[in-house]
Structure 1
Amino acid sequence: MRIISGKHKGRRISPPKNLPVRPTTDMSKEALFNVLNNHFNFSGLKVLDLFAGTGNISYEFASRGCENVISVDGDFGCIKFIKQTADEYDFNITAIKSDVMKFLAKNTSSYDIIFADPPYGFDQETFENIVKTVFERELLQEDGMMIIEHSKYTKMTELDNFSFQKGYGGSFFSFYELNQDRDEEVDGLEEEEG
């Protein structure tokens, strides 16, 4: 596992073998951040990483200068490893051991980017509930974006606030944003002008 950009670009991180995780591949991670680069200047952003696992995505955000990264996972070993790595590289990451749905139900902060990588074995309803809870509880900033990683068997395009989807190998990223009506109006204007 390596950091692909930012202050610690190229640095390899080796998590313990016994963690119950399925890390996002380097290829998928690079593609994801290529998309995010077109939407955000990472400096100063507040990020929430749900089902953080090894911290793979959190380190990428921190390396790119995000001001505040919150990593949430239910596994003690994962949280311990994220804390150790954050200390070692001086990353501004807060690691929290919690059931993700319980965390979302109690959380009162809002974020510029929320990334969720639930176990692919979760059922469709659980995936949908993660997205719905974020928007119902207004956890996303007005110009923010939520991304959920899932397999091709989980269909995430019909939910409110869905924006677009990208697929890489067996993994898909579905992107959600507020104010989708505004985007549709802009698209319509472009079509009329063309």
Structure 2
Amino acid sequence: MRIISGYLKGRRFSPPKSFKARPTTDIARESLFNILMNRLDFEDLKVLDLFAGTGSISYEFASRGCENITTVEFNYNHFSFIKKTTQELELDKYIRPIKADAFKYMQKSSEKFDLIFADPPFDLKQFDTIPDLFFQQELLNENGLFILEHSDKKSFENHPNFSELKKYGKVHFSFFTNL
């Protein structure tokens, strides 16, 4: 895997072959960040990356100048990989890895974020409830953005906070706003 853009563009990181996470594809990540770069000032963002897997989304934010990123991952091996990679890329002053269940983190967190990205396992039982949980827990700042990565088998277009859908092959990103 590689970092797509920013000052770490081209830097590679390799999860072990036994890694169970399904990383966001390079094409989908590049397309998503092209959209975000045209809409947001990354330096001022407070970002939450849930179900972080390899940490690739957090590395992309940091590489583009975001200095306040919280990364939550429950799987110990994935968390350890994120922590190690964050140190190797010298991003440990920008990325704060937390080993926690994402649902429990959402329930207990008193922090608010400007942007939340969630890439849960596509077969997760509670998948359909995730957007509601974010808005019930009031994790987003006013005018905040929540992005949920999901398969083409899910649709969130009827959710009251849904704003748009971006499709990249079988990877879909639903955007939700807190207005």
TM range (shorter): over 0.9
Structure-to-structure mapping, 1:1-194, within 5 angstroms: 1-91=1-91, 92-123=94-125, 126-179=126-179
Give the whole-Å Cα distance in 1 for the aligned partners of 2:2 and 2:144.
Answer: 26
Normalising by structure 2, report the TM-score: 0.95
Partner-residue secondary structure (3-state), 2:8: coil
Residues 158-194 of structure 1, C-alpha deviation per residue, up to 9 Å, x if partnerless? 1121000010011100000022xxxxxxxxxxxxxxx
Give the whole-Å Cα distance in 1 for the aligned partners of 2:124 and 2:156.
Answer: 13
**What fraction of aligned residue pairs are identical, expressed as a percent?**
50
Where does the alignment leave 5 or more consecutive residues of structure 1 unmatched? 180-194
Give the whole-Å Cα distance in 2 for the aligned partners of 1:20 and 1:107.
Answer: 26
Deviation at 1:128, TM superposition (A): 3.0
Deviation at 1:44, TM superposition (A): 2.8
Partner-residue secondary structure (3-state), 1:177: strand
Deviation at 1:10, TM superposition (A): 1.1
Which protein is bigger by CA-based radius of gyration? Answer: 1
Where does the alignment leave 5 or more consecutive residues of structure 2 unmatched? none
Deviation at 1:143, TM superposition (A): 2.2
What is the identity, as a one-letter code, of the residue corresponding to 1:7?
Y
Residues 30-60 of structure 1, C-alpha deviation per residue, up to 9 Å, x if partnerless? 1111111121010131110010001011100
Normalising by structure 1, report the TM-score: 0.88
What is the identity, as a one-letter code, of the residue corresponding to 2:144?
G
Larger RCO: Structure 1 or Structure 2 (Cα < 8 Å, ≥ 6 residues apart)?
A: 2
Q: What value does the CA root-mean-square deviation take over the aligned residues?
A: 1.0
Partner-residue secondary structure (3-state), 2:42: coil
**Equivalent pairs, count:** 177
Give the whole-Å Cα distance in 2 for the aligned partners of 1:7 and 1:44.
Answer: 17
Give the whole-Å Cα distance in 2 for the aligned partners of 1:61 and 1:99.
Answer: 22
Alpha carbons 1:128, 1:159 under 8 Å: kept: no
Residues 61-82 of structure 1, C-alpha deviation per residue, up to 9 Å, x if partnerless? 1111111111111100111011
Structure number with the higher helix fraction is 1
* Cα 1:148/1:113, change in 2 over 3 Å: same
Residues 115-134 of structure 1, C-alpha deviation per residue, up to 9 Å, x if partnerless? 000111124xx223221111
Partner-residue secondary structure (3-state), 1:159: coil
Give the whole-Å Cα distance in 2 for the aligned partners of 1:138 and 1:28.
Answer: 27
Match of 1:187 in 2: none
